[in-house]
């Protein structure tokens, strides 16, 4: 592993220890094989004067909820050293009490909650302390001779700590181990099955000690090929066939049932994942436990093993089997401890020949599982070549999964209304489509955004949204988009057929064939093809709904708009038939009739001005030319799309709802 330290970057921060701490924390965070998703933590000890002129000795330690990759100065919690060191002298302390006392010892009540490893950071007298959950070091300690092997490799300047539960128990263990210790003889500490600490009074030296020890460990693992492969971008992965897509959507539905909420299922079909899924010793090596205990909070202890051939029955029995085993595991360890059982749904599955699947209540959570299991697969592979993969005893893993700090979080948050749902929106690069994608995401859904414009691939960023270029009049392109949706998120619950064109005004007597054909093709025929491609997956969805974006022109057409009005009327009739056909199977189909939504690219300032002038109105009067005298914006329509996709319209199908500020022609 190479040092990412840059003298010029660091020189600019040299006067400010906290800024230097931010800098080297981010260097660690940039390396996924060192820390993943909020793992690891860093600190710096600073003496500074308070408002009363008294000097305080503070530990600035990573706050929970911050990621080393993106941490800022305000992501570090300033905690009084005196309190932290005094806490270490207590023989016993509940972690929830530890957190409470640490919070009360902060000099800034607005700072985040200090890391649970804060006391440990305080015990190490050096100014800078860097803690990572490095793959290479942990992989070596997860082998049969792991503890001896790592000792032989790292030598005398490292302290070796057997695995104990993180939090107070670990801090107390290290306190006992290091009383009276001459810390100058050490520059690192290995926590078996957990990670690495390095330290120094100098930021660069502490950081580079991490890099040096990790590099030594990396040289020991038989080949870097597996780790390299784990991070490689795959190119030639075959497209899944229809049966495979249906199996994934069925799996997602069953996992959602066990979870008690819709789940996101992300399939990983890379060469590496497929090779892993074909291991002969799979059930044996993959059922021993996670790479580091904290991963259990994301991945659960073991994956779900699927048979090669999947059908509805084998899928249901696999998920039920996993849930049954999980309940038995809970019962083995929970007796008399007053614990609340977590959901018994798997977080990842191995499907022989097809790769792996990651599950989560949100796309972000499923993505975290995917990242962690990719590293786990590589580590298992390497450890097996070093004599065998040894994970922690089940009891230690259970204690981590049912840590009181984790139990305390249960039931504290309310999920957004569409959390875990998967939506697909067409015509998503602008106007109502774009606003709908934004509103659906804000409501918790994972969204696939289709548009014919290439800009769609960059319109939205972040996890849980996928922008795909798709000409909706190309049926093969629609099939591909649906396939990509199932691969990325596991299924489909909400479809918003919105793509449409508004052609120039032509009276019937002069209507051009090309204009008529094109309007019907985009506004009507493509939507039929979309519904046909989506219907089989909607039937496997969670409280599925179709929200069709039609037009006020359906109930109140205008002269010169024959093609547009007829296409949208056809679309409305298509939706009514869909409501009749799909209603008995649980799929709701409702229609929106927006009008005069003028905050879209279609309405240029020039067009607005000329239309307003045409009617003898100001622009503002023209925008509010309805009974309620309100302006109808894209967001207003999008909010109604979300409502119709969710439980508010849970008992409504076949409805047509205007969103037009009120029209005397319709009322
Ligand atoms: Zn740790």
Looking at residue 233, its pLDDT comes to: 47
Looking at residue 602, its pLDDT comes to: 73
Query: Which of the 8 DSSP states describes residue 255?
Result: H
| Reduced 3-state DSSP string for 503-532 | CCCECHHHCCHHHHHHHHHHHHHHHHHHHH
Distance CA 72, CA 20 (A): 11
pLDDT band at residue 226, thresholds of 50, 70 and 90? very low
SS3 of residue 455 by DSSP:
coil
Distance CA 303, CA 286 (A): 7
- Indicate the range of 122-131, 512-521, 603-612 predicted with least confidence: 603-612
Token readout for 132 is 């990572």
Distance CA 222, CA 441 (A): 44
Looking at residue 121, its pLDDT comes to: 97
Q: Are residues 643 and 513 in the same domain?
A: yes
SS3 of residue 593 by DSSP:
strand
The dihedral formed by the CA atoms of 45, 51, 55 and 61, expressed in degrees to the nearest 10: -10
Q: Are residues 378 and 487 in the same domain?
A: no
Q: Residue 27 maps to which CATH number? A: 3.40.225.10
Give the active site residues: 564
Distance CA 624, CA 627 (A): 8
Q: Are residues 531 and 567 in the same domain?
A: yes
Reported residue count of the chain is 667
Pair 60, 44: CB distance under 8 Å: yes
Looking at residue 142, its pLDDT comes to: 87
pLDDT band at residue 280, thresholds of 50, 70 and 90? confident
Give 555 Cα–ligand 1 centroid separation in angstroms: 63
Q: Residue 546 maps to which CATH number? A: 3.40.50.720
Q: For the residues 456-460, what does the mean pLDDT come to?
A: 95
CA 308 remoteness from chain centre: 28
- pLDDT tens for residues 291-315? 888 889 999 999 999 999 999 999 9
| Domain assignment present for 475 | yes
| Domain assignment present for 614 | no
Q: Are residues 446 and 397 in the same domain?
A: no
Residue 249 neighbours by CB under 8 Å, 6+ apart:
486, 490, 491, 492, 537, 540, 541
Residue 124 CB-density burial (10 A; 0-12 exposed, 13-18 middle, 19+ buried): buried
Distance CA 650, CA 421 (A): 14
Pair 620, 642: CB distance under 8 Å: no
| Domain assignment present for 334 | yes
Q: Are residues 399 and 426 in the same domain?
A: no
- pLDDT tens for residues 71-109? 999 999 999 999 999 999 999 999 999 999 999 999 999
Pair 183, 97: CB distance under 8 Å: no
Pair 78, 70: CB distance under 8 Å: no
Give the residue from 66, 85, 77 showing the smallest Cα distance to 43: 77
pLDDT band at residue 168, thresholds of 50, 70 and 90? very high
pLDDT band at residue 186, thresholds of 50, 70 and 90? very high
pLDDT band at residue 31, thresholds of 50, 70 and 90? confident
Give 36 Cα–ligand 1 centroid separation in angstroms: 11
234 has pLDDT over 80: no
Looking at residue 230, its pLDDT comes to: 47
| Domain assignment present for 281 | yes
Residue 153 neighbours by CB under 8 Å, 6+ apart:
140, 216, 217, 220
% residues pLDDT > 70 (the chain): 98
Q: For the residues 485-498, what does the mean pLDDT come to?
A: 97
Distance CA 49, CA 75 (A): 21
Q: State which residues form the domain around 490.
A: 422-597+632-659
Distance CA 478, CA 490 (A): 17
Across the chain, which distance is largest between two alpha carbons, in Å?
A: 99
Residue 74 CB-density burial (10 A; 0-12 exposed, 13-18 middle, 19+ buried): middle
- pLDDT tens for residues 543-601? 999 999 999 999 999 899 999 999 999 999 999 999 999 999 999 999 999 998 998 87
Q: Are residues 355 and 494 in the same domain?
A: no
Looking at residue 405, its pLDDT comes to: 84
Distance CA 272, CA 276 (A): 6
Looking at residue 407, its pLDDT comes to: 85
| Domain assignment present for 441 | yes
- Indicate the range of 265-274, 403-412, 476-485 predicted with least confidence: 403-412
Q: Are residues 273 and 341 in the same domain?
A: yes
Looking at residue 236, its pLDDT comes to: 56
Answer whether 0.85 is exceeded by the pTM.
Answer: yes
Give the residue from 397, 412, 407, 398 showing the smallest Cα distance to 338: 407
Q: Are residues 504 and 384 in the same domain?
A: no
Strand partners, 528: none
Give 195 Cα–ligand 1 centroid separation in angstroms: 6
Looking at residue 237, its pLDDT comes to: 67
Distance CA 34, CA 218 (A): 12
Q: Are residues 547 and 572 in the same domain?
A: yes
- Indicate the range of 230-244, 501-515, 579-593, 611-625 predicted with least confidence: 230-244
| DSSP per-residue string spanning 619-630 | HHHHHT-STT--
Looking at residue 232, its pLDDT comes to: 46
507 has pLDDT over 50: yes
- pLDDT tens for residues 13-30? 878 999 999 999 999 999
C-alpha distances (whole Å) from 376 to each of 114, 395, 523 are: 28, 20, 47
Give 292 Cα–ligand 1 centroid separation in angstroms: 9
Q: Are residues 580 and 433 in the same domain?
A: yes
| Domain assignment present for 34 | yes
Total domain count, the chain:
3
Q: Are residues 215 and 248 in the same domain?
A: no
| Domain assignment present for 179 | yes
| Domain assignment present for 612 | no
Of 520 and 286, the one with more pLDDT = 520
Backbone angles phi, psi at 325, to 5 degrees: -65, -35
Indicate left, alpha or beta for 661 from its phi (over 0: left) and psi (-120 to 50: alpha).
left
Q: Are residues 212 and 246 in the same domain?
A: no
């Amino acid at each position: 592993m190479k040092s990412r330290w840059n003298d010029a970057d660091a020189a600019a921060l040299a006067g400010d220890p906290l800024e230097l701490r931010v800098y080297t924390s981010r260097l660690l965070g940039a390396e996924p094989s060192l820390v993943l998703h909020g793992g690891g933590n860093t600190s710096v000890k600073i003496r500074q004067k308070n408002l009363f002129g008294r000097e305080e000795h503070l530990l600035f330690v990573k706050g929970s909820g911050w990621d080393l990759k993106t941490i800022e100065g305000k992501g570090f919690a300033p905690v009084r050293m005196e309190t932290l060191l005094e806490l270490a002298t207590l023989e016993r302390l509940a972690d929830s009490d530890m957190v409470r006392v640490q919070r009360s010892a902060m000099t800034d009540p607005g700072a985040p909650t200090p890391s649970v490893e804060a006391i440990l950071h305080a015990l190490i007298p050096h100014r800078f302390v860097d803690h990572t959950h490095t793959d290479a070091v942990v992989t070596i300690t997860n082998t049969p001779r792991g503890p001896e092997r790592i000792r032989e490799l790292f030598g005398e300047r490292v302290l070796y700590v057997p695995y104990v539960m993180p939090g107070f128990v670990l801090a107390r263990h290290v306190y006992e181990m290091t009383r009276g210790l001459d810390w100058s003889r050490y520059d690192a500490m290995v926590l078996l099955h957990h990670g690495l600490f390095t330290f120094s009074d100098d930021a660069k030296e502490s950081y580079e000690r991490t890099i040096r020890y990790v590099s030594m460990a990396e040289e020991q693992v038989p080949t870097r090929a597996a780790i390299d492969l784990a991070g490689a971008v795959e190119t030639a992965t075959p497209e899944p066939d229809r049966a495979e897509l249906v199996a994934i959507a069925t799996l997602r539905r069953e996992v959602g049932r066990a979870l008690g909420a819709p789940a996101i299922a992300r399939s990983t079909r890379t060469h590496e994942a497929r090779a892993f899924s074909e291991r002969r010793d799979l059930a044996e090596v993959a059922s021993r436990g996670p790479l580091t205990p904290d991963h259990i909070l994301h991945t659960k202890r073991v994956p779900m093993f699927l048979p090669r051939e999947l059908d509805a029955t084998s899928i249901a029995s696999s998920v039920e089997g996993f849930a049954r085993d999980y309940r038995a595991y809970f019962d083995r360890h929970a007796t008399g401890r007053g614990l609340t059982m977590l959901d018994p749904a798997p977080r990842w599955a191995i499907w022989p020949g097809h790769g792996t699947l990651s599950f989560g209540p949100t796309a972000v959570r499923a993505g975290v599982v995917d990242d962690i299991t990719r590293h786990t697969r590589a580590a298992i592979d390497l450890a097996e070549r070093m004599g065998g993969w040894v994970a922690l005893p089940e009891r230690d893993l259970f204690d981590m999964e049912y840590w009181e700090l984790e139990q305390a979080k249960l039931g504290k948050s309310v999920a957004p209304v569409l959390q875990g749902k998967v939506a697909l929106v067409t015509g998503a690069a602008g106007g109502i489509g774009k606003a709908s994608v934004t509103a659906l995401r804000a409501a918790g859904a994972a969204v696939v955004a289709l548009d014919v414009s290439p800009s769609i691939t960059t319109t939205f960023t972040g996890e849980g949204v996928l922008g795909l270029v798709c000409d909706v009049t190309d049926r093969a392109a629609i099939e591909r988009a649906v396939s990509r949706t199932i691969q990325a998120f596991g299924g489909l619950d909400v479809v918003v057929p919105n793509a449409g064109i508004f052609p120039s005004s032509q009276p019937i007597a002069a209507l051009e064939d090309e204009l008529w054909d094109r309007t019907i093709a985009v506004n009507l025929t493509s939507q039929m093809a979309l519904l046909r491609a989506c219907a089989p997956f909607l039937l496997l969805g969670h409280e599925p709904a179709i929200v069709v974006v039609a037009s006020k022109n359906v109930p109140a057409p205008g002269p010169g708009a024959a093609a547009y009005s007829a296409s949208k009327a056809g679309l409305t009739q298509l939706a009514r038939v869909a409501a009749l056909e799909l209603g008995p199977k649980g799929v709701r189909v409702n229609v929106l009739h927006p009008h005069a939504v003028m905050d879209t690219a279609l309405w240029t300032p020039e067009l607005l001005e000329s239309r307003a002038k045409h009617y003898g109105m100001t622009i503002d009067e023209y925008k509010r030319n309805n009974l309620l005298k309100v302006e109808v914006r894209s967001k207003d329509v999008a909010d109604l799309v979300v409502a119709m996709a969710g439980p508010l319209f849970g008992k409504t199908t076949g409805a047509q709802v205007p969103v037009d500020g009120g029209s005397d022609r319709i009322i």
